Amino acid sequence: MRTVFWADGVVRMIDQKQIPWALEVVDLHDHHAVAAAITDMTVRGAPAIGASAAFGMALAAHTSGAQTVAELQAELNGAGAVLKAARPTAVNLMWAVDLMLGIAHRPGYASPAGLKVALLTEAQRVADDDVAVNQRIGAHGQTLIQPGDTVLHHCNTGALATVDYGTALGVIRAAHEAGKAFHVLLDETRPRLQGARLSAWELEQLGVSYDILPDTAAGFYMQRGEIKLVLVGADRIASNGDFANKIGTYQIAVLAKENGIPFYCVAPTSTIDPAIASGADIPIEERDPAEVTTPYDTPLVPAHFKARNPAFDVTPYRYLSGIITEHGIARAPFTESLKKALAGETL
């Protein structure tokens, strides 16, 4: 099953808030519901958010009663603004909305019906391409994993974070499918526990050996020499190689550098934002402090205690061994290699 897909005139997606306790699929009947699902993390993971936004735009067209192409185009501009506001950090969201608006504003549509068909066709293409791209990423990245290795992974970057297959966990999946025997350590990824809940659930389905770690334990295992490779995803990559990822990534990168462990970011080229020069330009989402103090409606501290909850941090490019893309592994200087990746050149 794909994380997000179109069926019978609605957008359907796996409710990631319910995993690992239940596998539930929700139906979304308008673009406002899609935006809400992105905001409340029913769907999360940069590529999955991008595909959801594409389907959200197709849904906005499908449910529109506009009588002219111009009316429909105006409505889609508004729907795009709603979807873009759902979460600020993942560039795939903005990329997908802009892509769909570009389709919507092409000249030559004879009627709203033709525009609606074009948007749904494009959304399906975005979803299908995501799966193919992830499989190519996995093929490039799995060469870094050797039999007997222990790999550290942070957050969730598997099938749930994409349309299917995954990015960093896709590399792990590809290595497993290649017959390699290795072990994975999964950071919990507080406060929403994407590693403990989602990545562990995915590796259970695949039959990959794993252990969940407290977020504070990664350095312990690095210092003991047990971790041979670190793989993480990204929500936005600047043109110089700085990248935003789930909170806690930066400290793992620093620890990996201190202990001489290769540290790779894994992401499709749609996650690269060539319009920004460095990570300083990436907006960082601050989420509800209740996710820290009362995760999943479980009070950890008195209700009046204060907390802060940044959802992402930025890792400077100097900590990277490379960025694994569908075109190969980009290496320093990233200003050059990422430019080649965006041009579709083999790295």
Element at 277 (helix H, strand E): none
β-sheet bridge partners, residue 266: 324
SS3 329: strand
Q: How far apart are CA 252 and CA 217, in angstroms?
A: 10
Closest CA to 69 of 61, 78, 80, 59: 61
Using alpha carbons only, give the angle 289, 276, 53 rounded to the nearest 5 degrees: 60
Q: How far apart are CA 127 and CA 136, in angstroms?
A: 15
CA torsion 333-337-338-342 (nearest 10°) is 160
Active-site entry in 235, 242, 273, 313:
235
How far is residue 24 CA from its own chain's centroid?
A: 20
107 CB-contact burial (10 Å; exposed 0-12 / middle 13-18 / buried 19+): exposed
Q: How far apart are CA 102 and CA 9, in angstroms?
A: 22
Q: Are 50 and 126 in contact (CB under 8 A)?
A: yes
- For residue 235, indicate whether it is catalytic: yes
Query: Encoding tokens for residue 114?
Result: 């033709």
Q: Which residues are catalytic?
A: 235
